Amino acid sequence: MAFMKWIDDFGVGVEEIDHQHKDLINMINELFDAMSVGQANDVLGEIINNLIRYAVIHFDTEEGYFDQFDYEFSEDHKEEHRKFKEDVGKFKEGFETGNIVLSMEVFKFLKNWLINHIIGEDQKYKECFRENGLQ
Ligand code: FEO
């Protein structure tokens, strides 16, 4: 059974962004599966790097539309993205230096952050993006 599943409530009405959110969920599942079968740290490290790179691409996508559409909650939303990148960056550093291990706590953090962010912040731009013709 997958660690995280897509549900329709995550949808923001924009195909490109829903696709990116699904990819992020798949990447967290890939990391979870790799940890579950005891993959080596270099394999896990590569998946973590891919996940971070993809999260940055995704945040840049959303933020590009915020700027384009002059989205009113842009600054608060960008701050959530910034904090997540900082937290995950610290985790990555700790993992690479052997000071932090990949644990259920880490997965719970990733899962809860993504769910809360998509259901909370991301849903707020739905109307703005729709009004600007994005779908
Ligand atoms: Fe979909 Fe704001 O991240």
Say which amino acid occupies 114.
Answer: L
Q: Extract the tokens encoding 43.
A: 């394999």
Fold of 12-131: Four Helix Bundle (Hemerythrin (Met), subunit A) (1.20.120)
Query: How many whole angstroms from 85 Cα to the centroid of ligand 1?
Result: 12
pLDDT, one tens digit per residue, over 63-100 is 999 999 999 999 999 999 999 999 999 999 999 999 99
Residue extents of the structural domains in the chain: 12-131
Query: How many whole angstroms from 101 Cα to the centroid of ligand 1?
Result: 26
The pocket around ligand 1, CB under 6 angstroms, is made up of 21, 58-59, 62, 77, 81, 117-118, 121-122
Whole-structure pTM over 0.85, yes or no? yes
At residue 135, does pLDDT exceed 90? no
Q: Return the pLDDT at 20.
A: 98
pLDDT, one tens digit per residue, over 19-69 is 999 999 999 999 999 999 999 999 999 999 999 999 999 999 999 999 999
Number of residues written out for the chain: 135
